[in-house]
Each structure stands twice: as structure tokens, then as C-alpha cells.
Structure 1
């Protein structure tokens, strides 16, 4: 996984999905059965917190084409396993229909989470897209997180895919991020002086019972506790594979750009945590179509302008990866067709039937971008 050999750090993506009833669209509590069926087909699905959720983990990839192929393949195998067990796989950040609470998956860890965190656990059937980028040195990883953190609201706005929740328009582009913010150690992270500072802070939270362990560090970006990576976990699960690849490519380029800044001795932007939290909240509400908060100035801005600034910021890294044209085309597609959240809201208005929107979202989950229609 040498960077010079492969033209940039490796990347991997974790995608969380909902299982739903094929008629009603209500979450289906069959993740163990679906995972067993997928295992027989050669795919290891992870069980998530709620019984209506599964997760795929891509292999290490060195370019967007291979990442796209792997994500599409895993979605297809997982969807086929779901169908064999009488349900459907859907890439949406929150359930569009169904009750607010879901039973916890059968594991000692998840039962302990339910015992400690109560209703926060049972109302947590939410699905994200987590991007891992290779940064094997933990000290460097912490500093990269410091440099990336001001861009997290922009990634959140681009990756919003949970506007419809429990049969109604939530009023937010990413309702998932609002629900997710109830966990301790969630949202944008603070600045850390060093890996030691990071570790000391996490240890204090664990000692106080705020977190069960380091795995419960749910900040929007973090050094992975089990992989030599930086993990960006701010986006909703994406409605199509191509949108997931777009998020992953921008994150990969952003990490590359941040590594260069750290190695050049550039200090990280000293954006106050309260400003980032406000920017995140506004990104969750308005996505790409409304107002945004510029983290550097704490003043109103257009979300589209901040996205353009992000692309300009990582231009050199995108050129090095040979990905600038792909990213440009994908963003043009998003501006024409909307984010997943825009699509959900539009379909709910046009159809007036949340179950029908779920059905179309399930079909979209397996679509390639150029074949996606409204």
C-alpha cells in the first residue's frame, strides 16, 4: 500500500443499509437471516445496532474504478440475500416509514449499549457512509483530522440522504445527523494537540462512563481505533454507488491535501467547536440548496460556494489521482438531479405515498448513476 506505487493513499468504504418489507416499506427485523444468506454467497455482512440494519465493508482499493466495482458488487449480493429472506435492501439515512423504535441486534455489546443509553439506542436505525483513507501514523492521523474538520459540514451537505422520516418530510436534508448527534462523542471533533492529547481525552470519557470504549468515539472524523486510517463518517449512506464514490474520492483528496499541509508545517485552521457545530446543524437542515455557515468566518454563505471552495482546495490531489474530471462530472449530475435528500422530498410530493418512495429508493440502491431516473 505504498503511496508512490499506487498514486495516493488507499481508500475503503463502509456502507450501512436498511432492510425493509417489500410492500409496506416498514423496517424488517431480519438482519441475522440476511447476513447468513449473504455469507453463503461469499459476502460478510456486519450486523448493525438495530435488527433492521446490515453493513458492507469494501476491501482496500487504490482507485475509484475498483472502489465502484466493489461497492456495486457488494450491494447486489446484499440485495439478493435480502430478497431471498423476504425483504429489500435500501440505501437511505433513516427509515422513511415505520415506528420510531427498533429492537437491538443480538449481541452482548449492543445489549450493553441499550442498557447504558436507553432510547438513544432503540431509536438509532440510521445509516451512514464511512470513508477510510490510509494514514498509518497515528500522530499524523490526529493532525490530519485537525485540518479536515472545517470541511466536514460541506461533506455533510453533499451527502445528505434522509429528508423523509417516518412518513413525513422531516424539514431537514439529513435527519440522520440530527438523530446521531444525541450520542456522546458525536458530531465534529475538537482540535487535538497530539495523539497523546487525543488518547488522554478518550480515556477520560471511558473512565467517566460517557463512552464504553474507544470504539464509541463517534466524531465525524477520527483516527480509526482498529485500522491504520483516518475515518470520515459524516455523510448519510448514499442512494447510488456513484454518489458514494464521489464522497469517497473527495474525502481521499482532502486527506491527501491535509497530509501535505501537516508535512509542510502549516497549522490547522483554529475553527471553534461551537462554530463547527452550528455549521453542521445548518448543513443538516439545508443541504446544498439553502444557507450555510462559513466555518472560517462564522458568517452566512452559499453551500454551493463552499463546495466549490472544497474542490478548489483539493484540486492538486484530484489531479494527482486523475479524478478531477470524474468529480466534476459527478457534481454536475448532483446539481441537476439533487442529493438523495432532494430526491426523497421530491418523490414524496409527487407520489404522496412513503411506501412507494421506499420501493423506488430500493431500486435506486442498485442503479448506476447514468441509469438513475426520477
Structure 2
């Protein structure tokens, strides 16, 4: 059965675009700033290809998913860095159990006041990013019953889930300062909202998504994130009022996305209605269509969305493999294959 193994602590840091996360067995890849989906796809191929070769040279394999199905959180080794040590001492087993990987998308917004307004407006759509990316149905060798179990695993941290609504950047900064002063956060990096302002760069950061198994899924996610930001900016500049949604309804929609992915009904937090997942995805595409067309991304994103509905999310495909073979190692093998399939 597949097991998580730690690569050399010095290997990822030796190469531009790579770093460790909390666990030695996880590697973070970071693209350069990309201005087109084509550039993003090329960056992802390069990063995955180099990492796959590094792993192969060490006798290992690489897979991209929200969780590694058979990982034993009790025996995973943590990276020894002062920041990570402080985080572990503060949150203890919540950190140890969180053997997960996410896909974070940064969209540049130079004006921080504008970024806060956009942050407020993107919130009803955040559950869709989770449903699309769901890739963590198995945890600790068990079927969790969720399409994204990574999402509820993060509930142990004090600051997570949908962010509050903020009147201004000053209000955002003051709220974060109070969280730091209260000791709920050890540093800005532990601000685990589903979306937030970038802590190092002038960006809006989407954090809710599971790590995407395929490059296609990653491109779909990033393309939708950029189009959503531009759609919200257009609405702000046109002085259109935002749709008011309740925080509990957004949380309910997030839970439903984690539970079902694209396999069942989803909740539209703007109307409180249940919709079949394809209909909710179509609603999202319709909302961002003008921005996607302006960017020249409409054909690719609409194709990738249709393709995802026909093949199922990574979680759906993992369940399908387990149903067919009955063996979790076969799920791992398929994840490894899908992770590297688009490198040619």
C-alpha cells in the first residue's frame, strides 16, 4: 500500500518554485505571475515535470490531491522551521492531523480598498471552487463520505471558513490586528479564511480549493477565479449593489460542496435554493461569461467545465476506481497517473 515518504528537506528549496509545507512529505509548487491560461498551463507542466523527475530520482512518485488516501497522520514528519514549530506548539494535533494540500489562486488587485470590496462580493461563489476541485474523499485509509474531507479538517483552526464582510481596508486590517493581539493567530499566515487579501503581494487569494489532480482542473479553477474578480470589479465600477447573503447560508453551501462535490445538489447562497450541480456550475459560468470572453478564455473554460462534468471531479474518479477494483492502492496509482498525464 502506498505511503507518504519525506523527500530530502533541502530538495524543494534548491529549486525556484518549490518549497515544503508543514509536512516533509508535501511539496508546495508556486508559478510565476501568469498573464494567460496558456502561460499558466506551461508553468504547471514545468513545475510538475521537474518535481516528478526529482521524485523519480529518489525512487518516489508524486500525486496531487487534497489528501493522500492512505497517509497516516500519526507518523508523518513535520518540517522543522521556527514558524512551523510555533504553529505546532500553538495548535498541536490540529496541525499534525492536517495532512492535506490545497490549491491557492492569487489574482492581482493593486488597490487594497478595491480588493476588500471584491473580497466581499466573491464570497457566494467560493463554494463552487471547492465543489470543482474536490479531491480528498479518503483520509487515514478510510472513505470519509465527503468529496472534500480536507475542508472539514481545517475546522479545528480558530480562524477559517468564509471571511467576514468588511466596510474598508482599514476595517480589514484592524480585524486582523485584533486576531493577532488575541493570540488566535500566531502570524498572518494562519489567517485561514476561504479567501483573503494576499499577505505578501497585492492580490486577492482564493484558498478554499483542494489541490487539483490534473493540470486541466487547475487551469479551470484559476480561469474562473480571475474572471470572477474582473466581474466583481465591473459591478463595483458600475455601482451595482452586491447581492446580500447570510454567513450561515454561505457556510451551509460550503458544507454541501465539501460533502457532495459535483455529484448531487448544491446550494446557491444568494437564493437559498438547491440546484443540481451542473445547473449551479452553469449559473457560475453565466455570471462570469462576459469577463471570460473579454479575456479570451471563454471557449477554454467552458470546455474544461463541460469536460469536468462528463468525467467527474477527482474525488468522483477516485471513488469510481475503488468501486471497480476494491483496493485503495489502485486509487493511488490512478492519482499518480492523472497527476503526470498532461506533462507530454
- TM-score tier (shorter): over 0.9
- Within 2, Cα distance between the matches of 1:276 and 1:107? 35
The one-character-per-residue Cα deviations of 1:15-53 (angstroms, maximum 9, x if unpaired) are xxxxxxxxx3111122515415xx3xx444111011111
Moved more, 95-104 or 105-114: 95-104
Following superposition, the deviation at residue 251 of structure 1 comes to: 0.6
- 1:163-178 equivalences under 5 Å are 163-178=137-152
Residue in 2 that maps onto 1:111: 85
Following superposition, the deviation at residue 345 of structure 1 comes to: 0.7
| Equivalent in 42, 55, 63 of residue 69 of structure 1 | 42
| Equivalent in 320, 329, 342 of residue 355 of structure 1 | 329
Matched, 1:260 2:234: yes
Following superposition, the deviation at residue 242 of structure 1 comes to: 1.1
In structure 1, list runs of 5 or more residues that go unmatched.
1-23
Residue in 1 that maps onto 2:278: 304
Residue in 2 that maps onto 1:32: 9
- Within 1, Cα distance between the matches of 2:287 and 2:147? 25
Contact 1:139 1:194 survives alignment (8 Å): yes
Contact 1:155 1:247 survives alignment (8 Å): yes
Contact 1:146 1:269 survives alignment (8 Å): no
| Equivalent in 120, 125, 130 of residue 146 of structure 1 | 120
Give the secondary structure class of the aligned counterpart of 2:87: helix
- 1:134-283 equivalences under 5 Å are 134-283=108-257
Give the secondary structure class of the aligned counterpart of 1:99: coil
The one-character-per-residue Cα deviations of 1:75-125 (angstroms, maximum 9, x if unpaired) are 010111112222211101012003133221110111111100010010111
Following superposition, the deviation at residue 355 of structure 1 comes to: 1.7
- 1:14-33 equivalences under 5 Å are 24-30=1-7, 32-33=9-10
Contact 2:278 2:309 survives alignment (8 Å): no
| Equivalent in 327, 330, 336 of residue 310 of structure 2 | 336
Which stretches of structure 1, 4 residues or more, deviate above 6 A after TM superposition?
none
Matched, 1:87 2:87: no
The one-character-per-residue Cα deviations of 1:225-249 (angstroms, maximum 9, x if unpaired) are 1011111111111111111001100
Following superposition, the deviation at residue 278 of structure 1 comes to: 0.9
Give the secondary structure class of the aligned counterpart of 1:181: helix
Give the secondary structure class of the aligned counterpart of 1:32: coil
- Within 2, Cα distance between the matches of 1:180 and 1:85? 31
- Within 2, Cα distance between the matches of 1:72 and 1:303? 29
Give the secondary structure class of the aligned counterpart of 2:27: strand
Matched, 1:290 2:240: no
Contact 2:17 2:31 survives alignment (8 Å): no
In structure 2, list runs of 5 or more residues that go unmatched.
none
Give the secondary structure class of the aligned counterpart of 2:9: helix
Moved more, 350-359 or 149-158: 350-359
Aligned length: 343
Moved more, 258-267 or 134-143: 258-267
Contact 2:17 2:47 survives alignment (8 Å): no
The one-character-per-residue Cα deviations of 1:148-174 (angstroms, maximum 9, x if unpaired) are 000011111111111122222210010
The one-character-per-residue Cα deviations of 1:297-330 (angstroms, maximum 9, x if unpaired) are 2232222222111100011100011111111111
Residue in 1 that maps onto 2:71: 98
Per the normalisation by structure 1, the TM-score is 0.89
